[in-house]
Amino acid sequence: MRVFNFIKRNFYNGSTIIAILLLSFTEIYSQEFLKVDNKIIVNGNGQEVYLKGIGLGGWLLQEGYMLHTSGFANAQWQIRERIVDLIGEANTEIFYEAYRNNYVRKIDIDSIKSWGFNSIRLPFHYNLFAVNSNPPVFLNKGFEILDSLLTWCEANQIYLILDMHAAPGGQSDENISDYNPAFPSLWESDQNKTLAVQIWRKIAERYKDKQWIGGYDLLNEPKWNLPPNNQPLRDLYIRITDTIRTVDTNHIIFIEGNWFATDFNGLTPPWDDNMVYSFHKYWNANNQGSIQYLIDLRNNTNRPLWLGETGENSNKWFTDCVELMKTNNIGWAWWPHKKIQSIAGPLSAVLSPLYQTLLNYWSGQGPRPSASYAFNALMTQANNLKLEMCEYHKDVIDALMRQPFNTQNKPFATNEIPGTVYATDYDMGKWNTAYYDLDYQNVGGGNWNNGSQYRNDGVDIESCSDFGSNGYNVGWIENGEWLKYTVSVNQSGTYNLNINLSSPNSNGQILLRLNGQVLGSIVNVPNTGGWQNWQLVPLNNIFIPAGTHQLEARFYNGGFNFSHIEFNLVSTDVEEIFQPFEFELHQNFPNPFNPVTKIRWQSPIGSHQTLKVYDVLGKELATLFDEYREAGRYEIEFNTTTYNLQSGIYFYKLQAGNFIQTRKMILLK
């Protein structure tokens, strides 16, 4: 309002008006720049911003393990050589254009926002911005890609952090920097260092006024045998920082340590006020000891920490890591958002059989395909990278976004009864809450998931050949493991169950429970003649009440595979055409219970009926009903939260005319 009053008073001073408007708009526009405020990151309004990000790995820099080529081609230059050898240079360029266009699109950024992330880390290859010649030739391709991505991020109000993942020559001797030992590394060439500085200056010049650029991650995971004080790394960082600051004072500088962003020796004290130390964390324990040296770094430098890259583990590890970071107020960026045929990220691109043929050839397991076949295979795989063609792993997002702050299980699937409950569709939730598996994460080596299909928990899931399955089964079952399912029972009644099992031995045992109460008895797993020779094992005459319940499958003895359970309704107790012959008050179900149970009874004649609840001393606690009822069968739900009852033994008593009956029930909290 003050701006417009000033304009009215100075209507004829056009230059003044323009200056004020530009000043005002600049102030409004710059309010969302991320800044360092001592040990935290804030926006222009001084509000703390806790970064929850994801990395777009594999898009602008290929890595062999993401493309299933690591056995014969790890670095991008090696992958590209294999492709050029099959289809030629011109078609290779067409493939890479399609690959980049499909890997990340606006729909990907929209989805990332909808999943709950507020930031993106973008790994890029320097060669999208320059040809490493003498003198260098600068390119527009990288900026065209960044401009589009930034537009999508701005529309979603997501911060975009730019990460030079492959510097000229390579900042490490690993494939992740596209290092080629035939050429000098970043550390062995002044020309390479100068080009890295020049590229960062051009990036800073272009995006200096863009508020949704979250900052500049100068070098991803340096790894070189530098002097103990990392002086060459510090010198290059300061040189890049000083160059950026000549054109851009708005954006945060993110600094990674040597040896995969873990060694910060020599990188203190900080040389810039708007600087964050970025570390990476993989395959170690999620305890305070694993990050205490970093907390000390933050305390000693008065600069924030950022976990710029982590992931590639189980959901349990993910949840524990997010909890640890939140406890220590450290923002993070997960790695990555998409890969080919992988369960460890939100999106998995289907591996085309045509592309598998190329992999077979490259690994020496198949004949050389024709150029046209290879080109078609590569373009098919590139098309499979589109988000709508990918498999979405909601369990990964749940592990990152909900489970660190919620101990409740959440249904993975509808699981309706009558119907089929698939073994793999157990609830989403924490380890030892929704499921229990003995090997559930990678902390220092070892295989935590033998099947590596369908879901990213420790539960071992593999492809299943049985016609009645959903394409997968739980395998590698060990003694004491268990799974829980939220099931929706549409009809009370008696059910016959068929449990689909396979085993080359007869040692396995499985027990089913509903809301903690055993269904039938322990089921002994027969020897079916092999791991994929399936047999339906019956469990008959099981009463199951209508409603939402928790089904539990406990594996007392392992050594078998588990595909699904069929629930077939054989009789009902609620819609019979005849009236009951006698009064009967049934045992509540479940029992023990917490906090809800159901009570059923039957009456052969109409009468005034009451149902009351008492404690062990006979004190009346609740009247569930007190009214006239016709002859029939009835059911009522008793929710103890309404009455604030504690764990213990209680009694419920039915009086219907002259009929009186009492039963005991147990509340366990």
CATH assignment at residue 494 = 2.60.120.260
Are residues 203 and 277 located together in one domain of the fold?
yes
Q: What are phi and psi of 369, to 5 degrees?
A: -80, 160
User: Given this model, what pLDDT does residue 573 score?
Assistant: 57
> What CATH number did the domain enclosing 641 receive?
2.60.40.1930
Indicate if 454 and 333 belong to the same structural domain.
no
pLDDT at 28 (0 to 100): 39
Query: Cα separation of 632 and 168, whole Å?
Result: 83
**Run means of pLDDT, 10 residues per run, the chain, 669 residues:** 35 41 41 91 96 98 97 97 98 98 98 98 98 96 98 98 98 97 97 98 98 98 95 98 98 98 98 98 97 98 98 98 98 98 97 98 97 98 98 98 96 96 98 97 89 97 95 97 97 95 97 92 96 96 93 96 97 56 85 90 87 91 89 88 89 89 89
Residue 378 lies in a domain: no
Whether 622 and 477 share a structural domain: no
What residue numbers bound the domain in which 651 lies? 584-667
Rounded CA gap, 14 and 22, in Å?
12
Establish how many alpha carbons lie within 13 A of residue 482's alpha carbon, considering only the half-sphere containing its beta carbon: 18
Q: Tell me: do 591 and 560 sit in the same domain.
A: no
Judge contact between 424 and 415, C-beta under 8 A. no
| Contact between 156 and 114 (Cβ < 8 Å) | no
Q: Which residue has the tokens 């950024």?
A: 109
Whether residues 151 and 298 share a domain: the answer is yes
- CATH number of the domain encompassing residue 254: 3.20.20.80
Helix (H) or strand (E) holding 196: helix 190-207
Q: Is residue 269 part of a domain?
A: yes
Residue 438: enclosing H or E segment and its boundaries? none
Report the alpha-carbon distance of residue 573 to residue 491 in Å, rounded. Answer: 9
Rounded CA separation 358/75 (Å):
17
Looking at the domain assignment, is residue 164 inside a domain? Answer: yes
CA distance linking residue 352 with residue 354, whole number of Å: 5
Domain's final residue, options 524, 550, 571? 571
Q: How far apart are CA 25 and CA 211, in angstroms?
A: 13
Check: CB of residue 513 under 8 Å from CB of residue 551: yes
Distance (Å) of CA 144 to CA 101, 133, 274: 12, 21, 27
Q: Is residue 259 part of a domain?
A: yes
Q: What pLDDT was estimated at residue 580? A: 63
Can you read off the two tokens belonging to residue 402?
A: 């909900």
* Torsion over CA: 151, 154, 158, 163 (sign): positive
Q: What is the pLDDT of residue 294?
A: 98
Whole-angstrom distance, CA of residue 11 vs CA of residue 4? 10
Q: Which residue is associated with the tokens 């590569």?
A: 378
- The dihedral built from the CA positions of residue 253, 257, 261 and 263, taken in this order, carries a sign that is negative
Residue 9 domain flag: no
Q: Among 536, 571, 606, which residue terminates a domain?
A: 571
Whether residue 336 is preceded by a cis peptide bond, meaning omega within 30 degrees of 0, is: yes
Distance CA 80, CA 352 (A): 19
Please choose, from the candidates 233, 242, 232, 299, the residue with its C-alpha nearest in 3D space to the C-alpha of residue 262: 233
Amino acid, res. 105: R
Cα-based distances in Å from 172 to 292, 356, 449, 489? 26, 30, 30, 57
112 token code pair: 């990332």
What is the CB-side half-sphere exposure of residue 74 using CA atoms within 13 A? 9
What is the per-residue pLDDT for 32? Answer: 81
User: Two tokens at 311?
Assistant: 């992931």
Residue that is written with structure tokens 């070189």 in the block: 224
> In angstroms, rounded to a whole number, what is the distance separating the alpha carbons of residues 296 and 475?
44
Does a cis peptide bond (omega within 30 degrees of 0) precede residue 232? no
Q: Is residue 219 located within the same domain as residue 310?
A: yes
pLDDT tens, residue by residue, 534-591: 999 999 999 999 999 999 999 999 999 999 999 999 988 544 334 566 788 999 888 8
Mean pLDDT of the chain: 93
C-beta of residue 596 within 8 angstroms of C-beta of residue 640: yes
Is 93 domain-assigned?
no
Residues 589 and 566 grouped into a single domain: no
- The per-residue pLDDT for 359 is 98
The per-residue pLDDT for 579 is 54
**For residue 504, is the peptide bond before it cis, meaning its omega torsion is within 30 degrees of 0?**
no
* Domains held by the chain: number: 3
Q: What are the beta bridge partners of residue 537? A: 499
Q: Examine the domain organization and report whether 489 and 509 are in the same domain.
A: yes
Q: Determine the distance from the C-alpha atom of residue 44 to the mean position of all C-alpha atoms in its chain, rounded to a whole number.
A: 30
SS3 600: strand
My answer on whether 551 and 598 are in the same domain is no
User: Do 505 and 455 share a structural domain?
Assistant: yes
- For residues 118 and 53, the answer to whether their CB atoms sit within 8 Å is yes
Which segments of 257-304 are extended strands (E)? 275-281
Please report whether residue 226 resides in a domain.
yes
Q: Are residues 504 and 621 in the same domain?
A: no
First to last CA, the chain: 59
* 36 within some domain: no
Q: What is the DSSP letter of 433?
A: T
Domain boundary among 520, 549, 571: 571
For residues 132 and 242, membership in a common domain is answered with: yes
